Structure 1
Amino acid sequence: MTRTAIAALLAGSACAGVAQAEATVMRCSHQLPPAHHIALVVDQWAAEVETLSNGEIDVQVFGADSLVKANDNILAVAKGDIECAFSLNFQWGKTLPIMNVTVGPYTMSSIEAWKKWPTSEAAAYLEDKLSEKGVKNVAWMFQTNVSVFTSKGKFLQTPADFQGLKMRGLGPAFDKGLEAMGATTVSMPGSEVYQALATGVIDAAVTDVAAAWSRKYYEVQDHFVVVPVLAAYLHGYVTPAFHDGLTDPQKAALKKAGEKAAGWAIEASIEASAAAPDQLASKGVQVHIATDAENEAFKAVMQPAFAAGFEQETGAEGKELLDLIAKLQ
């Protein structure tokens, strides 16, 4: 081989090494199991970020609590321990309670409203608040407007059926509604609920109907009441310093991928919610679709309790956000 050829080969290898080194690694943590419909959307989003950035952003997704535990994701990103994470809105708890606005019983169950959400004033309002808490929001992924009350031995069809039950709670304001029906709530991440149900730590749960299927609740519960009681979303966020370090094209790729993922999440959630009740029934458990009268009974007890709790937690900010959400209805 000539000196010229060797020099060319070395130069090419060096260029390849530089190109490889320039790929920006973005580690993203979330709690969802691999089969969850939104976990699949997160994977699709990650691939889209890589495509739109021409491979300049290397998105590494760690699901099912495999990198950071669900309750630690927010702090890990805010501190810069990892670059990216996805959390359910109610995981913000007391840190940013206005994130729970859509969890209000029978508050935002319209799919049309969710289609408007990513570019709405309400979403922009929350993005500003998230920034104040040390994270940069990059994706909104609607997860469900169809939930289930799961139990063992009987359906939870009326408020009175909740009397004396221990349940996994979703957050202080929403839990006020469960407590108003006589339940006692226990705080825990979604990844721990199956085991808690299996061992009797809790008696019942409320979750996304599709999550009840993907997390195999049918193995530890035998009665499921399908209710449009709450709307939940997963959102993706990154460390602000990490985002600031991206080039403008990379930032644009992240933004565009987030916009696309918002649409994919709605499509996936509609499909998953429609299929899940029959999937659960196929496992031999009892499934009941709540009637209008049953939903009205739940609403009459839960909504005032949530409203009082939400106002206590959020004050003027909560009212301002609720007014912005009203524009979406």
Structure 2
Amino acid sequence: MSLFQRFLPATLTVSYLLSTLLFVGSAQAATSVNLSYNGAPDPEKNAVHLFATNLKELVAEKTDGELELKLYPNSQLGEEQARMEQTMSSPNLNIASFAGVSPVMPEIFVSAIPFLFEDFEAARSFFDEGDYWQAFDETLRERTGIEMLAVVEEGGFLAFTNNEKPIRSPEDFDGLRFRAMDPSQVALYEAFGASGTPIPWTEVYMALRTGVADGQMNPPMYIILGSLYEVQDYLTLANIQYSDQFLVGNGAMLDGWDEPMRQAFLEAVDEANAMAREHNEAKVDERIAYLEEQGMQIIEPSEENLNAFREQGQPAYLEWLKTQDIEQRWIDMALDDAGMTQLAQ
């Protein structure tokens, strides 16, 4: 049975406690830390890798070489849940998606309410300043021993792709099969009349090529990264969800560093994240243009159809959240932070 399967908020495993105690005693001697994440080591195609490489350089610079990050892209240390388990039980850093965080903190799904943010500024303010995210950080540490370090943009807002027909309105989803990253995306597809099947990122290209799925949802960056334009004809810019992943670290490791080391590391994280955000936002239009050059048909839904997506998707998603044993206070905090309290009614 995995750590995820036996995970309980009030009772950490003996092995975790022992590893924590041992690491606290030896943290000062540690100079190398693993950082794992999804996607290829290509800074032009993978915004997460760009963030990771910038962070590696900044950490080395700000700690005068006392701390070195070893990068493991392409899920080399395992898929999402395996990497999170490693981070809970040993001195590691990990950039996780919703599929990695949600098994221990299903409250993460609240931040993915469709159309929660109008633009980058609104999304960044939500995570940088909101009460929901502060409470999320504190609860994650209490439950798992993991510390949330940064919300990392992975390429803009999510867009729909498929290989069957242009999607301009919710009705166009009828009968289509979509790859889902996690159960929340399954719920969203079903709200539009399609079906969703969770498929790991590493298997998405083949699933689309062989017809296991007709479409998927990702920001333009990931569509390029996975060469999905080779097996998808239509790109719908619905901007339905903010596309992000999460830099997390083993709490015992971070606590074991002396204060100058910890502060230098956190400064490096903030600076790398600011650099990644600036780069990411500047690249959005360029990436969409590239996909069009590769032969994808770009669909920009009308304001009327965007409203239809919102009016159909938001209530269905909120109903799904209620089935996940997520306390209403999390939803209320998030909607209040986003200025959308009317949705809680």
- Relative to structure 1, the CA distance from residue 148 to residue 182 in structure 2 (aligned partners, 3 Å threshold; closer, same or farther) is same
Q: 2:60 aligns with which of 47, 50, 58?
A: 50
Larger Rg: 1
TM-score after normalising by structure 1 = 0.86
Kindly indicate whether the alpha-carbon contact (under 8 Å) linking 2:35 and 2:69 is maintained by their aligned counterparts in 1: yes
Q: What are the within-5 Å matches in structure 2 for residues 10-159 of structure 1?
A: 22=29, 24-34=31-41, 35-80=45-90, 83-116=92-125, 117-131=127-141, 132-159=143-170
Let me know the Cα RMSD of the aligned residues: 2.2
* Mapped partners of 1:123, 1:102: distance in 2: 9
Q: Decide whether the 8 Å contact of 2:140 with 2:148 is kept in 1.
A: yes
* Conserved 8 A contact 2:207-2:213: yes
Instruction: Tell me the distance in 2 between the aligned counterparts of 1:296 and 1:37.
Output: 30
Structure 1: stretches of 5+ with no match in the other structure: 1-20
Tell me the alpha carbon deviations over residues 105-125 of structure 1, each in whole angstroms, 9 at most, x when there is no partner.
Answer: 101233222343334433321
> 1:263–1:29: structure 2 CA closer, same or farther, 3 Å change rule?
same
1:161 to 131, 150, 172: 172
What is the alpha-carbon distance in structure 1 between the residues aligned to residue 258 and residue 29 of structure 2?
Answer: 12
Q: 1:320: how far off?
A: 4.2
Residues 325/172 of structure 1: CA separation in 2 closer, same or farther (3 Å cut): farther
Q: Distance in 1 between matches of 2:278 and 2:36?
A: 23
% identical aligned pairs:
21
Q: What do residues 249-302 of structure 1 show as CA deviations (whole Å, max 9, x unaligned)?
A: 111012111211231232122123221210101112211122212211111211
Is 2:330 the partner of 1:318? Answer: yes
Query: How far apart are the structure 2 equivalents of 1:106 and 1:92?
Result: 21
Contact 1:41 1:261 in 2 (8 A): yes
SS of equivalent to 2:132: helix
Letter in 2 for 1:27: N
Count of aligned pairs between the two proteins = 308
Aligned residue type for 1:46: K
SS of the residue 1:227 aligns to: coil
Structure 1 residue 163: Cα displacement:
1.7
Q: Distance in 2 between matches of 1:127 and 1:320?
A: 17
1:66-97, CA deviations, whole angstroms, 9 ceiling, x for partnerless residues? Answer: 122233211111011x5111012353234312
Question: Which aligned pairs between 1:241-280 and structure 2 lie closer than 5 A?
Answer: 241-280=252-291
Cα distance in 2 for partners of 1:45, 1:118 equals 19
**Counterpart residue type for residue 318 of structure 1:** W
